[in-house]
Amino acid sequence: MTSEPMSVYEAIRMRRDVRAEFTGEQISEEQLTRILEAGHAAPSVGNTQPWDFVVVQKPETLATFAEHVAGCRRDFADSLPEDRRETFDPIKVEGITESGTGIVVTYDPNRGGTHVLGRRTVDDTGVFSAVLAIQNIWLAAVAEGVGVGWVSFYEEQYLTEMMNVPEGVRPIAWLCVGPVSKFQETPDLVRFGWRAGRPLAEAVHRESF
């Protein structure tokens, strides 16, 4: 986008959950490697690095997953009261085929063996580590002029089988990743009137909740 490297704060400010702005071009291998390296540099409990990244670019696979997601989208729409369904109708929930690349992020709870340093009392710190990797990927992508859209309208078991994820390993996200025409100024769910944000002051407490 520019010749200056993007600052942390700028990337955090510009980052969007992209659905409609993918250009249809594919991310370059060099960019893909850099953003995967960024993910792999995330912190992890006990240095377990419990993530794996499955890069999906075959058009048939993208189309098959998009069809599954469309079904889950319909189920959600059907579950809504009428006024919410009308608000939901124009909202795009994925850019699976348009992005040209999916990254499926998985979590392996057995990475690191029995005695994981830091996971004894809070077991979820394992899966949380894989989520931290996702945010590194997301921000690095923004610095590359590449959009990321996290798709969560899928059945976990379906994605597990589709990607041949081994038993005991869990897929936790499908990220649509590809060049974008622009990053929207305002998040889609705010623009379409689904849900406004709340001020930071409401989220901050002092000394006690």
- Return phi, psi of residue 89, to 5°: -45, -50
CA distance 100 to 77: 26
Judged by CB under 8 A, the stretch of 23-31, 176-184, 195-203 that binds its own copies is 195-203
CA distance 144 to 141: 5
| Two tokens, residue 92 | 């795009």
Nearer to its own copies, 14 or 23 (CB): 14
Judged by CB under 8 A, the stretch of 22-30, 177-185, 201-209 that binds its own copies is 201-209
CA distance 87 to 62: 27
| Two tokens, residue 158 | 């379906």
Indicate whether 156 belongs to the interface with its own copies (CB under 8 A).
yes
Question: Which of 23, 64, 88, 145 lies at the binding interface for its own copies (CB under 8 A)?
Answer: 88
Indicate whether 180 belongs to the interface with its own copies (CB under 8 A).
no
Q: C-beta of 24: minimal distance to its own copies in Å?
A: 20
Indicate whether 70 belongs to the interface with its own copies (CB under 8 A).
no
Indicate whether 40 belongs to the interface with its own copies (CB under 8 A).
yes
How large is the C-alpha radius of gyration of the chain?
18
